[in-house]
Amino acid sequence: MKKNINKKNKTIALSLAGMGLMLSLGACSNVGANAATVSANVSNKDTKGNTTNISVDNNTVSINGDGASSEGNVITVSKAGNYNFTGNLDEGQIIVDADGDVNFTFNNFSISYSKDAPIVAKKGNLNIVSADGTENRVSDKRAANTEDENGSSESSKEAYDAAIYGEADINLSGNGKLTVEGGYEDGIHSKSNLSVESGNYSVTASHHGLNGKTTLVVKNGTFDVTTVEDALHSKGDVTVENGEININAGDDAVHADNTLTVKDGTINVAASNEGLEGITVNIEGGDITVNSSDDGVNAAGDTEDGSQASYAINISGGNLKVVPGGDGIDSNGDMNISGGNIFIDGPSDVGNAPVDYDGTATITGGSILATGNSGMFEGFNGNGSTQSSIIYYLDSNVTPGSTIKLTDESGNEIFSSADQTQSYNAVLYSSDKLESGKKYDISVGDSKESVTLESGSNTVGNRQGGMGQPPQGGNFGGPQGGGNGDRQGQPPQMNGNDREQGGMGQPPQGGPQDGGNGDRQGQPPQMNGNDREQGGMGQPPQGGPQGGNFGGPQGGGNGDRQGQPPQMNGNDREQGGMGQPPQGGPQDGGNGDRQGQPPQMNGNGREQGGMGQPPQGGQKPNQAHIDDSQNSKNKGDSKKKNNKQKNNKKTENKSGKEQ
């Protein structure tokens, strides 16, 4: 069925200018030079099991067989069966409206249309075979759609959104070549299942390249896909079983709203915003290279029904190389590595990390070499890790070309690499060659350190940052009993381990534990820019009585000091945990004379300071805003598209706009 789409301008400025160049290339091709001219006489006899031949000569359609008819340059297939196409049909269309399987064989055939989709399967499964040794082309010459499918405009029109569009299944096979130009939106779009068994494909599109709403399966074939948005896309699952796929994408290279699985084959992503993305990403084999301006491999997205997703990245085999501008491998949940060889080159900026996760990261097999900036650098934290790993923090940035080397105590080389293209000051390495209890030397250029491995994660070198020290002379806002709290806490020296790195920092110096006055302010935590709560609570106040918590008086005394919010680095999650409790708030009664301050936000998708500032000495019911950080934890993330599915659930929308 067609969809009635009311659209308003959406800012695709992304690469529409480039699409003109891509689509103009198709105009240079003239396929079907040796197409045969077949008599226009249509046989009325039963041709069940036979093939109906449809040829085009001088833009005139001839049909020999049953099940198809033509009116001008529009060919309608109304019966299931086999159809062979030859010739070049300019400004024409093929409409499939049949029960069962409709099988097309393209034998040096080309079709183009500037008013609607060139091939529309309204009903029936469409199977397209590109005959061996042939070159075929389907060109949607409509201008790129720049309107929002969920908006409204003065002009509304019905449109099918792909060069090859089907309401039911679409299957592609054969050993010939098929070029598809999706000028309006997608190259190939099935509202059900899209499967590719074999063939040689060149796809350009102003939206998605290959789009299977329910599933997209690539069993084999060779692909060159250039798109403004996703190259391979599904609202359900995407599976790559084999083949060679070369991608240049303006958004995701391969995107599944649900599960993305790579079993084998070669995937080369020359450019993308994000490389591989799904709620669950499984890499079981293959050779994968990802260049991305944001995350290379990303477990993210929203469920269709709005329920909480269970995010995971599982790598059990294959070779994965990522050169990211954002995080290398980023899971909003867990990360499990049990096999394969992983090489992550960057990022070089302080705001991202080669490995990033919200849950646990476990390694039980395979190997990983990751380099990047130490600001958000993470290793493996899962208790289930059976393989040792090393994090090496350097004193300064290393320029590309320096050699990273690991040797055992006998001088035998475990690995070496000089293939990095981005600067770095931190290195993560793990493989089954590492043995707990043995000594190793790790070097980068002229820098060298030794480490005797323990099980789990091992850290060499230091980095600064993390959480500030609690106040000198106060426990969570001041003394517990008498005495004065007159010293300020100092931030801890961090070793750069994962997450809450400094714990609480140093306990207070010289602060009494029973009573007294609290006359100094606690300092906010100094953040190292990691994605999670790194410093826990931030600095409590200096010398205030214990009752300053949440701004409500719990005991006696006055709450006359303001707590300070954590210092945020502007990343996506809560960085400083609770922020500073109030200075000097009494525990039970007394006066509450100060207001708590909200956390300092950087405008990204989550709360950055967690709890923000509790009120200064105010009553507990009037405490500062406490947002539900758990619910917001996975909703934003500038790297995970805001509502990736775009929630196109309008029942009257039939153009395939469900992505």
Listing DSSP states for 220-271 in one string gives: S-EEEEEESS-SEEESSEEEE-S-EEEEEESSEEEEESSEEEE-SSEEEEEE
Torsion of CA 189, 182, 6, 72, to 10 degrees: -90
- Using 50, 70 and 90 to split pLDDT, how confident is the model at 495? very low
- The pair phi, psi for residue 230, each rounded to 5°, is -75, 145
Instruction: Give dist(CA 236, CA 238) in Å, integer.
Output: 7
Residue 434 pLDDT greater than 90, yes or no: yes
The C-alpha atoms of residue 195 and residue 238 are separated, in whole angstroms, by 10
Question: Which residues contact residue 339 at a Cβ distance below 8 angstroms, ignoring those fewer than 6 apart?
Answer: 315, 316, 317, 365, 366
Q: How many C-beta atoms surround the C-beta of residue 615 within 10 A?
A: 26
Q: With the C-alpha atoms ordered 65, 70, 72, 73, is the resulting torsion angle positive or negative?
A: negative
Integer-rounded Cα Rg, in Å, for the chain is 31
Whether the CB-CB separation of 592 and 551 falls below 8 Å is answered with yes
- Distance (Å) of CA 265 to CA 194, 239, 333, 629: 18, 11, 27, 40
Query: Kind and range of the H or E element at 86?
Result: strand 81-89
- Within 10 A of 642 (CB to CB), how many other CB atoms are there? 11
Q: The tokens of 136 are what?
A: 């075929």
Q: Where are the domains of the chain?
A: 1-257+644-659, 274-463, 466-629
Distance between CA atoms of residues 511 and 376, nearest Å: 34
Look at residue 316 in the predicted model and tell me its pLDDT: 98
Encoding tokens for residue 477? 């806002």
Amino acid of residue 401: G
The rounded distance, in Å, linking the Cα atoms of 318 and 296 is 16
Quote the pLDDT of residue 303. Answer: 87
Tokens at 463, concatenated: 């980095």
**Helix/strand/coil for 366:** strand
CATH tag for 274-463 (out of 2.60.40.420, 2.60.40.10, 3.40.50.300, 1.20.210.10): 2.60.40.10
Omega prior to 347 cis, within 30 of 0: yes
Residue 137: what pLDDT?
A: 98
Query: Would you state the pLDDT for residue 135?
Result: 98
In degrees, rounded to 5, the angle at the alpha carbon of residue 182 between the alpha carbons of residues 251 and 149 is 65
Class of residue 4 by CB neighbours under 10 A (exposed 0-12, middle 13-18, buried 19+): middle
What residues pair up with 335 in beta bridges, in sequence order?
Answer: 313, 361
Cα 120 from Cα 96, distance rounded (Å): 6
C-alpha span between 540 and 517 (Å, rounded) = 15
Nearest 5°: CA angle at 141, between 135 and 144?
Answer: 125
Contact between 7 and 653 (Cβ < 8 Å): no
SS3 609: coil
Q: What is the dihedral of CA 630, 635, 636, 641, to 10 degrees?
A: 160
Higher pLDDT, 47 or 370: 370
Judge contact between 353 and 298, C-beta under 8 A.
no
pLDDT at 562 exceeding the cut of 60: no
- E strand spans, 305-455: 312-324, 329-331, 334-345, 355-357, 361-372, 389-398, 404-408, 413-417, 424-430, 439-444, 447-452
Residue 22: helix, strand or coil by DSSP?
Answer: helix
Kindly list the distances between the CA atom of residue 298 and the CA atoms of 250, 256, 453, in Å, as whole numbers in the listed order: 16, 11, 30
pLDDT exceeds cutoff 90 at 46: no
Rounded Cα–Cα distance for residues 534 and 270 (Å): 35
pLDDT band, residue 158 (cuts 50/70/90):
low
- Give residue-wise pLDDT tens across range 445-467: 999 999 999 999 999 998 744 43
**Section 435-450 average pLDDT:** 95
Instruction: Write the pLDDT tens digit of every residue in 563-607.
Output: 343 343 433 433 333 344 334 443 444 443 334 343 343 433 333
pLDDT value for 29: 39
Q: Which residues contact 268 (CB under 8 A, 6 or more apart)?
A: 244, 245, 246, 247, 289
- The HSE-up count of residue 501 (CA atoms within 13 Å, CB side) is 33
Contact between residue 274 and residue 295 where contact means Cβ atoms under 8 Å apart: yes
Amino acid at residue number 574: E
Residues near 192 by Cβ (< 8 Å), separated by ≥ 6?
166, 167, 168, 169, 170, 212, 213, 214
Sort strands 334-345 and 355-357 into parallel, antiparallel or unpaired: unpaired
Q: How wide is the angle at C-alpha 20 spanned by C-alphas 19 and 23, nearest 5°?
A: 80
Q: How far apart are CA 256 and CA 98, in angstroms?
A: 30
pLDDT number for residue 184 = 98
Residue type, 380: F
Q: How many CB atoms sit inside 10 A of residue 601's CB?
A: 13
The values of phi and psi at residue 19, to 5°, are: -65, -35
Summarize pLDDT for 277-327 with one digit per residue, the tens.
Answer: 999 999 999 999 999 999 999 999 998 888 999 999 999 999 999 999 999
Which range in 96-105, 484-493, 495-504, 566-575 is most confidently predicted, on average pLDDT?
96-105
Contact 355, 335 (CB under 8 A): yes
For residues 276 and 232, what is the distance between their CA atoms, to the nearest angstrom?
10
Among the listed residues 443, 424, 253, the one whose alpha carbon sits nearest the alpha carbon of residue 346: 424
DSSP string for residues in 440-469: EEEEETTEEEEEE--SSEEEES----S-PP
Closest to 543 measured CA to CA, from 575, 514, 521: 521
State how beta strands 74-77 and 135-140 pair.
unpaired
Residue 543 and residue 484 in contact, taking contact as beta carbons nearer than 8 Å: yes
CA 353 to each of CA 112, 270, 563, 634: distance values in angstroms, whole numbers, following the listed order: 46, 20, 31, 17
Name the amino acid, one letter, at 133. Answer: G
**Band (131; pLDDT cuts 50, 70, 90):** very high
User: What confidence tens digit (pLDDT) does each residue in 196-241 have?
Assistant: 999 999 999 999 999 999 999 999 999 999 999 999 999 999 999 9
Residue 414 scores a pLDDT above 60: yes
Q: Which amino acid is at 5?
A: I
* Burial class for 652, CB neighbours closer than 10 Å (0-12, 13-18, 19+): exposed
Amino acid identity of residue 68, one-letter, is A
